[in-house]
């Protein structure tokens, strides 16, 4: 998810930036990921879900994917590094395919 990417990016900052400059951001990114991981709706179901629940869950995931894709597209429009822009646009393309497959 988007929070996993944020955690990975803040890990790079914490490792390459000035000592202790980004440690708080890294800790908060990790805490955010773990907090979301505890959401009951995202837990592995103990039993099969009814078709209507499955469809609603798929639609919710598709909506989340599109929010993350929009954020990545925003980053792509602001980067000056061509390889970063290409990577972002490829990720947005695949995210769009995920959303389409879920609908």
Q: How confident is the model at residue 90 (pLDDT cuts 50, 70, 90)?
A: very high
For 46, half-sphere exposure in the C-beta direction (CA atoms, 13 angstrom radius) is 1
Query: For 66-83, how does the pLDDT look when each residue is reduced to its tens digit (9 = 90+)?
Result: 999 999 999 999 999 999
pTM for this entry: 0.67
* Position 1 pLDDT exceeds 70: no
**What is the rounded distance in angstroms from the CA atom of residue 55 to the CA atom of residue 31?**
29
Segment 33-60 mean pLDDT: 83
DSSP 8-state code for residue 69: H
């Amino acid at each position: 998810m988007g929070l996993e990417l944020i955690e990975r990016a803040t890990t790079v900052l914490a490792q390459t930036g000035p000592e202790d400059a980004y440690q708080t951001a890294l800790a908060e990114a990790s805490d955010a990921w773990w907090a979301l991981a505890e959401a009951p709706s995202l837990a592995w179901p103990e039993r099969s879900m009814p078709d209507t629940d499955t469809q609603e869950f798929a639609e919710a995931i598709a909506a989340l994917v599109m929010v993350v894709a929009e954020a990545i597209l925003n980053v792509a429009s602001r980067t000056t590094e061509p390889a970063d822009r290409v990577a972002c646009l490829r990720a947005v393309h695949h995210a769009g395919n995920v959303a389409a497959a879920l609908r």
